[in-house]
A and B are shown apart, each in its own frame.
Chain A
Amino acid sequence: MRSESTPLIELRQVSKTFGKAADSSVQRLLQRLHVTRPRPVTHAVDKVDLRIQRGEVVGLVGESGCGKSTLGRMVAGLLPVSSGTALVDGQPRDSLTPEERHAMRLKVQMIFQDPSSSLNPRLRVDRIVGEGALLHGLTDKHGFDDYVSAQLQRAGLSPQLRQRYPHQFSGGQRQRIGIARALAVQPELLVCDESVAALDVSIQAQILNLFMDLRDELGLTYLFISHDLGVVEHLCDRVVVMYLGRVVESASVDDLFARANHPYTQALLAQIPRFDVRSTRYDAIQGEIPSPLNPPAGCHFHPRCPHATARCREEVPALREVSPNHLSACHLNDLS
């Protein structure tokens, strides 16, 4: 029913806004009566297109407030989309029957950033890892211990630790428990939201190696969200760069790091501290990251862009192909 080319995940013109304006008349009345305060509306994600093929590792990079975490949660089905459609295996998420949606939910699992808050401190590790699998019949009462032990083993933890509680583990070990939990429900796609950001360099390397082993062993697909371009460069096949809710560039890793097209990507790549570049002269781009509460008109990057033109200030640049499967959203491409 789904041909090989159907992407595992596809987002079409997906947007997400938080704090909807007072739509019901009662709320408007209350606000006019000065009883409640109007809530500001933030446009976290703005009409994003994204396709993730099976077995691919897609990197999603951008600075704080660019909406990459929100996008990740929409892909994982934890956040409903405000507009646009999200398709899993070619089927729109919201048009599924409850049972289908239930099964669909297990296909995409999320690995979180903060090892201390992604595990329930009051539950034993074996229940944390195995509860989902048990509920969905992937294992049963008496097979439970072996199943959980196998998951922990695969994530690099010794099974005798499964009786313990999260506070008895280090940051790196807790991240492994999160991975074991995700894999226990046999997903096809792992959304990793800054999964190694909170770890030290040496522990980070161990977890990245684990991700790579799992990819080879289980043929997993990854959406790897990170602000650390070094990690993304090493791990991903394709990179999508976001700025203030919009995709500004998307290309294969080699293409992006060698021939970055969008001024923002170029600035990002220029300013990452490089290990082999000594006593660098930092020429930073000026200006603050605008607040998502009132994003600038036209291209969001124009206030900080060295090549900004009048057109950039009014017209939102479309995400177009500038070279074979290398997309970029910048008016400068129209001139060349």
Chain B
Amino acid sequence: MNAASKPVPSHVGLQAQSPWRRVVLEFISSPTAVVGLLVLVLIMLVAVLAPWIVVQNPYDLMQLNVLDARLAPGSANMDSGYTYWLGTDGQGRDLVSAILYGLRISLWVGIGSALIAAVIGTLVGLVSAYVGGWLDALLMRLVDLLLSFPVILMALMILAWLGKGVGNVMLTLILLEWAYYARTARGQALTESRREYVDAARGQGIGPWRIVVGHILPNCLPPLIVIGALQIARAITLEATLSFLGLGVPVTEPSLGLLIANGFQYMLSNEYWISLFPGLALLITIVAINLVGDRLRDVLNPRLLR
């Protein structure tokens, strides 16, 4: 058969080049993606090491000095002389440490909920694709139902019932996001199971579960990884939005969303920094994740998602 107008790409690879190595090589070839990845790794490092590198524990009310409230960036601390590089918030919290701790919560909620939802969703998707029949129809109807309602509304309703707190926010996110993974995992598993290498494996007497896990699952991973990146970014944004609305984290341990919400009232008296800097931190994190996610989508499966 005649190949597409462009000739067949070079097939004489020198040494064993696994598909995953090929993905890494292609990922590196885009500078913006590499920058995104570096920024993301830096942010994660900073968030994990926060308690050791930060001047003050923003969640320990004892250390807060109300007199230092609403100080402009660069002003010094009353007694111990360290400077508040980004100023302080309404309760005298050093914004730098508050942002770092806030990042911890955001990343923890975002990545945690996305991973758990991914595992649940993929399992449901694979089982639904493999078993088929009425179970498949039932699960997919549920998934369609969940996906047809916007996440923020469902989150509002659930939090209104369950009450506030990081745990509830994560539970809400997991409850809503597993559906994305389930739909994609099922769709991908069905397309892969129709391909000839699955028939070949069945013909060689390889057991059904060994085929699903050993043969089909590795080919379902690429689209799931792409969704994972997108979902982490959405989860972080959603957590910040819910906290901003006062439904997320408790007041004593403000995440970035709550910091921004607290800063809103001071904006009128031109103290912009309380809302500005946490917002910037949030933006940089999400942009970094989206840059990485975008590149992954082009590299792993160009035609998937938007």
List A residues at the B interface (Cβ < 8 Å): 73, 76-78, 102, 105-106, 108-110, 112-114, 117-124, 128, 131-132, 135-136, 163-165, 167-171, 173, 178, 181, 185, 197-200
Query: Which residues does chain A contribute within 8 Å of B201, judged by CB atoms?
Result: 120, 131-132
Q: A119-B197, A120-B218, A165-B17 are in contact. List 9 more A-B contacts (CB 8 A).
A: A73-B199, A77-B203, A108-B203, A120-B201, A135-B205, A167-B19, A168-B16, A168-B17, A185-B204
Residues of B with Cβ closer than 8 Å to A?
1, 8, 11-13, 15-19, 22, 195-197, 199-206, 215, 218-219
- Residues of chain B within 8 A of A106, CB atoms compared: 204-205
Whole-angstrom CA separation of A17 from B206 in the bound complex: 26
- Cα A118 to Cα B15 in complex, Å, equals 22
Chain B residues, CB < 8 A from A199 = 1
CA gap between A163 and B15 in the complex, in Å: 8
A117 vs B205: C-alpha distance when bound (angstroms): 19
- Chain A residues within 8 Å of B199, by CB: 73, 78, 110, 112
Q: Shortest beta-carbon distance, A140 to chain B, in Å?
A: 17
**A241 CA to B19 CA, complexed, in Å:** 42
| Distance in Å: Cβ of A180 to nearest Cβ of chain B | 12
A156 to chain B, nearest CB (A): 16
Contact A168 B11 (CB under 8 A): yes
Q: Given A114-B196, A118-B196, answer yes or no on A132-B17 (Cβ-Cβ < 8 Å).
A: no
Total inter-chain residue pairs, C-beta < 8 Å: 90
Closest to A125 in B: B16
Q: Give the docked Cα–Cα distance between A185 and B200 (Å).
A: 12
Nearest A-chain residue to B198, judged by Cβ: A120
Whether A132 and B204, one on each chain, are in contact in the complex, defined by CB atoms closer than 8 angstroms, is yes
Find the A residue at minimum CB distance from B202: A78
Q: Given the interface contacts A121-B19, A123-B215, A167-B22, does A110 sit within 8 Å of B1 by beta carbon? A: no
Closest to A169 in B: B11
Q: Bound complex: CA of A197 vs CA of B2, how far in Å?
A: 11
- Closest B residue by C-beta to A77: B203
- Chain B positions within 8 Å of A108 at CB level: 203
Mostly, the A contact residues are loop
Q: Which has the most chain B C-beta neighbours within 10 Å: A120, A131, A171, A178?
A: A120
Contacts A117-B197, A119-B197 given; indicate if A78 touches B203 (C-beta within 8 A): yes
List of A residues within 8 angstroms of B196 by Cβ: 112-114, 117-118
**Chain B minimum-CB-distance residue to A171:** B8
- Given A117-B196, A118-B197; A76-B13 close (CB under 8 Å): no
Task: Provide the bound-state CA to CA distance between A106 and B196, in Å.
Answer: 17
What CA separation (Å) do A93 and B214 show in the bound complex? 27
Query: Would you mind naming 9 contact pairs between A and B with Cβ atoms under 8 Å apart?
Result: A112-B200, A119-B197, A120-B219, A132-B205, A167-B19, A167-B22, A181-B200, A185-B205, A199-B1
Q: Is the pair B16, A181 in contact by a Cβ cutoff of 8 Å? A: no
In the complex with contacts A110-B200, A118-B197, A165-B19, A105-B205 CB distance below 8 A? yes
CB atoms of B11 and A76 under 8 A apart: no
What CA separation (Å) do A163 and B8 show in the bound complex? 22
Per the bound structure, the CA–CA distance linking A199 and B19 in Å amounts to: 24
A73, A106, A119, A167 interface centre (most CB from chain B within 10 Å): A167
Identify which of B15, B204, B205, B206 gathers the most chain A CB atoms within 10 Å of its CB: B204
Name A173's closest neighbour in chain B (CB-CB). Answer: B11
Decide if B19 touches A122 in the complex (CB within 8 Å): yes
* CA distance in complex: A213, B177 (Å): 56
CA distance A112 to B204 in the complex (A): 13
Q: How far is the CA of A13 from the CA of B202 in the complex (A)?
A: 25
Residue of A nearest to B210 (CB): A135
Chain B residue nearest to A30 (CB atoms) is B137
CA distance A135 to B22 in the complex (A): 30
Q: Which residues of A contact B204 (CB under 8 A)?
A: 105-106, 109, 131-132, 135, 181, 185
A106 to B203, CA, bound (A): 7
Q: Which residues of A contact B12 (CB under 8 A)?
A: 168
Q: How far is the CA of A109 from the CA of B197 in the complex (A)?
A: 13
Q: Is the CB of A120 within 8 A of B13?
A: no
A112 to B202: give the CA distance in the assembly, Å. Answer: 13
- Chain B min CB distance to A44 (Å): 16
Q: Whole-angstrom distance from the CB of B4 to the nearest CB of chain A?
A: 13
Q: How far is the CB of A28 from chain B (nearest CB, A)?
A: 14
